[in-house]
A and B are shown apart, each in its own frame.
Chain A
């Protein structure tokens, strides 16, 4: 019988993560709902918001579109929050000796961290599906412009998945630098995620007309970083790092 983690192991880890830390899940859902409203409410406000605010003789910013695109990093952050329990579970399992036991069963470090990564992506996908569906429903109800209705969810998905990947891998690779017990390590993970999507907060305000392009570039950069980190992970995450 193969001892490779079974195909549903990612789902088991995801379920364990949620049962261990519901707070992040609740906050993630709340932020997802809030950010969907932020993406669509400007369209509801309609004529009460000026279509352009000129700044120092430049083209100015379109506040409706800018606010809509600020919702992109917020929705990404919601996905990051929603997947954070996996990082907590990883540290918890490490401190409890579960990861050491997995190694003793004949698994390699890559078998293990890939399952935790898969779980983080499963959780992120769950909230992203929820966000996309909610964006669609609210957008249609609020008569949001078709361009925003399509680009916001697409940008959220293409940024969120690599950000969650990058953050999860980085946390596993460098979690041994943090000796605190479970619950004390998430700020670094979240900070990495916030830092990764920082340009997405700034772009709608500074260069609103190029927001979609800049967000797409950001997604490509984070995808690149995630791929590099993924292939370096076997070196960065040694077996020793799984010990309590």
Chain B
């Protein structure tokens, strides 16, 4: 089990702190979703943990050792930035091989892992944004690391590839810590077990997402007949019958009632997100 600890960290750019007094202890092998509006400090947090930015105050420890000033400890981390960081004048394979020569690993293996066979002989500059992102992600998997910092890894990716990446991350998070930032609340809700909310450069919330899910939320149901005669749901926008529930079990019970009543349900989905309220309020001062 690995441990990442930030204690009283102030960090930023040009002497101006973006993160203020951030204290955090991450000690489970799982995916932690880092959420917050633009400018809240998510990228600054990742850059600080990766040792790219030296904090103005406080300490960052990984497995109890100073991360900022130890090359050895920093090599246990992998960071996926907003920027693709791929030499665009090279072919995909050569670009991955370029990094493989520096950090180790096999370009062929990550080409296979990320299904880049069709792209490997193309110049990076000729790829679409989504394809470049896939290549950028591929380089993160050149070597096994203990801590993965992924800044919006699925931006610019189509839904199918996004799902493949999320599945891959879920797999590696079984024995590693993954910090994953996203603007997509549904994705965050799906992929993460823990949430780190950044508000104005400070930790606004840190805890399990399931604790947030205990609040009431809305489920939309589409069916071939009026479901309001069977369950306590009201017809809302876009043809959905809106059902308010406080747990997935409650939603399941409602579905069972509908099935038993002979109602053909064509669609059932969560309409709001327990992270929504948290996210909307995160831009406001605490």
Contact = CB atoms under 8 A, between A and B. Distances in A.
B124 to A, nearest CB: 10
Interface string A80-118: 000000000000010011101111111110000000000
A104 B51 contact: yes
A12 interface: yes
A19 B89 contact: yes
B87 interface: yes
Contact of B87 (A5, A93, A103, A107): A93
Contacts of B149: 104
Contacts of B101: 6, 12
Interface stretch (B74-82, B109-117, B193-201, B242-250): B74-82
A96 to B, nearest CB: 6
Given A103-B51, A239-B53, A243-B47, A98 B87 contact: yes
A101 to B, nearest CB: 4
Interface string B144-172: 00000100000000000000000000000
Contacts of A100: 47, 52, 81, 83, 85
A103 B49 CA distance: 12
A209 interface: no
A95 to B, nearest CB: 8
Interface residues of B, number: 33
B102 A105 contact: yes
Interface string B54-87: 1000000000000000011011011101111111
A16 interface: yes
A105 B103 contact: yes
B98 interface: yes
Contacts of B103: 1, 3, 105
Is chain A's binding surface mostly helix, strand, loop or mixed?
helix
Given A103-B50, A103-B51, A106-B71, A9 B102 contact: yes
A16 B98 CA distance: 11
Given A9-B102, A239-B53, A240-B53, A105 B85 contact: no
B48 to A, nearest CB: 11
Contacts of B50: 103-104
A232 interface: no
Interface core residue of B78, B85, B89 (most chain A CB under 10 Å): B85
A84 to B, nearest CB: 17
B104 interface: yes
B187 interface: no
Contacts of B83: 96-97, 100, 244
B88 interface: yes
A191 interface: no
Contacts of B13: 240, 243
A102 B74 CA distance: 11
B14 interface: yes
A104 B84 contact: no
A3 B71 contact: yes
A175 to B, nearest CB: 15
Given A239-B53, A244-B83, A106 B89 contact: no
B104 A1 contact: yes
Contact of A97 (B51, B71, B81, B104): B81
Contact of A12 (B14, B79, B88, B98): B98
A243 B82 CA distance: 11
A20 interface: yes
Contact of A240 (B14, B104, B139): B14
A198 to B, nearest CB: 34
Given A3-B103, A5-B102, A240-B14, A101 B87 contact: no
Nearest to B82: A97
Contacts of A12: 98, 101
Contacts of A244: 83
Given A97-B81, A101-B81, A106 B74 contact: yes
A96 B84 contact: yes
28 contacts: A3-B102, A3-B103, A9-B102, A12-B101, A16-B89, A19-B89, A93-B87, A96-B83, A96-B85, A97-B82, A98-B87, A100-B47, A100-B52, A101-B85, A101-B99, A101-B139, A103-B51, A104-B50, A104-B51, A105-B102, A105-B103, A106-B71, A106-B74, A106-B75, A106-B77, A107-B71, A240-B53, A243-B13
Going nearest first, the 10 A-B pairs with the smallest beta carbon separation are A97-B83, A97-B85, A106-B74, A104-B79, A101-B85, A106-B75, A106-B71, A104-B50, A103-B52, A1-B104
Given A16-B87, A101-B79, A243-B47, 19 more contacts: A3-B103, A9-B102, A19-B89, A20-B89, A96-B85, A97-B82, A101-B81, A101-B99, A101-B139, A103-B52, A104-B50, A104-B78, A105-B103, A106-B72, A107-B71, A108-B71, A240-B13, A240-B14, A243-B52
